[in-house]
Amino acid sequence: MPNGEKYDLVVIGFGKAGKTLAGKLASQNKRVALIEKDARLYGGTCINVGCIPSKRLVMEAGAAPQEPQEQPRFYEEAVRGKTELTRALRAANYDKLVKVGVEVIDGTASFLDKNTIEVATAGGGSRVLSAEKFVINTGSRPALPNIPGLEDNPLVYVSETMMDLTRLPRRLTIIGGGYIGLEFASLYANFGSQVTILQHGSVFLPKEDADMAAAIRAVLEAKGITVLTEAAPQRIEGARVYYSKNGREEALDGDVVLAATGRTPNTELLQAERAGIELTERGAVRTDEHLRTSVENIWAAGDVCGNLQFTYISLDDSRIILSDMAGDGRRTTRNRGAFSYALYIDPPFARVGMSEAEAAAEKRNYRVVTLPTAAIPKARVLKKTEGILKAILEKDSGRILGAALLCPEAYEIINLIKLAMDHDIKAAELRDFIYTHPTMSEALNDLFAL
């Protein structure tokens, strides 16, 4: 076995789980190294090119001027503010780890065997590190579809590069009708861009109930966003996208194209086979419920596992790994409760647990309750009355099986519903709870009263 500098733990990747684990063990006087191939990604995808900068721009877009002549300058200033924010957070994340004794190494790691890695450092050299334990936290990257003219096209962006665009596009074409594409569509429409979404499939938001998908589509179209389903891109020339629809080829002119067609795990540089680490068919690291890989001293966390690709899931992954490393293993992927997520369109959409379609497929004895957003006093205060709140309740017990919210502050209310679901708090208790007024959460009084 190759010899190398010895550590108690080596973390590959500066994402949410990785930095949390590195900081925790270093504070316990363990010798910890954290490897990151790109110093611009200290803190991970979320802080630098994901949820934090995009939500900052979402907030800025909500205050964008309506006068077309003022929009480009406002947008440029918003991007500048976003960049300053991510720079500050990146530095804070680095300083926090160094302060507790983590050695941050700039470079690309690859396994030599299950106890040793080689790091090709940013300075052009290499180091060999050995450790008792490893955590793979290399994240994911945008997956590019095989469309002629897409790669190496200066007018085609992905989610991670789009937010560095300092000039507001007058016309934006988005390839992909998933959650990332819709969020950027809403964001840029609010800034003043003319947005068109090309979706290959025939069903808009197929993972959501048809009524909620229709409500979301109506909200987007009210902003002037065009949604074209069954539109399959064929090739791209500059910012002109040729696509097929109904057996005919059409052309769509634009200023910029955003490819928003999902993400893929970053495993290609790991040389995982040298350590005996199994990968899935899609190239993700295969893990068990404790996030152990096929090698007993190596764990994986976050997007690289190919499961739920959210920062808060990555944080929970760190708790699961810490539990397993401590020897109790009580926390697992199977007991983290109902899964919730939010889509930061305007108004935002959030969901937790089962959809109505899923409840019907499982033949649950359920009932549906709904409430229009316009019936909520706080929504009227905010002048944001579009949308609907929906919940799926078990008839006999009153348990909440799931909820979908399209309303202001949906991303906050959904946490309260998840907490109730995880702790078996019935809908009647949320119905009778005393909320402050006026708030969006008090809508649960009326939603569950029906």
pLDDT (tens digit per residue) in 77-104: 999 999 999 999 999 999 999 999 999 9
pLDDT tens-digit series, residues 249-297: 999 999 999 999 999 999 999 999 999 999 999 999 999 999 999 999 9
pLDDT in tens, 389-433: 999 999 999 999 999 999 999 999 999 999 999 999 999 999 999
| pLDDT confidence tier of residue 310, bands split at 50, 70 and 90 | confident
pLDDT of residue 2: 59
Q: Can you read off the two tokens belonging to residue 12?
A: 């590959």
What pTM, to 2 d.p., does this model score?
Answer: 0.94
Task: Give the pLDDT of residue 307.
Answer: 85
Which residues does 340 contact at the CB level (< 8 Å), separation at least 6? 350, 351, 352, 353, 414, 415, 417, 418
Residue 393, φ and ψ in degrees, nearest 5: -115, 140
Q: Helices 16-26 and 311-326, interaxial angle, to 10°?
A: 40
**Residue 309's pLDDT band (boundaries 50, 70, 90)?**
confident
Angle at 14 between CA 9 and CA 19, to 5 degrees: 60
pLDDT digits 0-9 by tens, 129-182: 999 999 999 999 999 999 999 999 999 999 999 999 999 999 999 999 999 999
Whole-number Å distance between alpha carbons of 340 and 107: 35
- What percent of the chain is modeled with pLDDT above 70? 99
Active site residue 437: yes
Q: Tens digits of per-residue pLDDT, 320-332?
A: 999 999 988 899 9
Q: Specify the pLDDT at position 42.
A: 94
Give CA–CA dist 176/197, Å, rounded.
Answer: 7
Please state the rounded mean pLDDT for residues 196-225: 97
CA distances to 103, 125, 412 from 111, rounded to whole Å, are 19, 16, 41
As a whole number, the mean pLDDT across the chain is 96
Give 121's Cβ-side CA count (13 Å radius). Answer: 9
In this predicted structure, what is the pLDDT of residue 328?
A: 87
| pLDDT tier, 1 (very low <50, low <70, confident <90, very high otherwise) | very low
- The enclosing H or E element of 400 equals strand 400-406
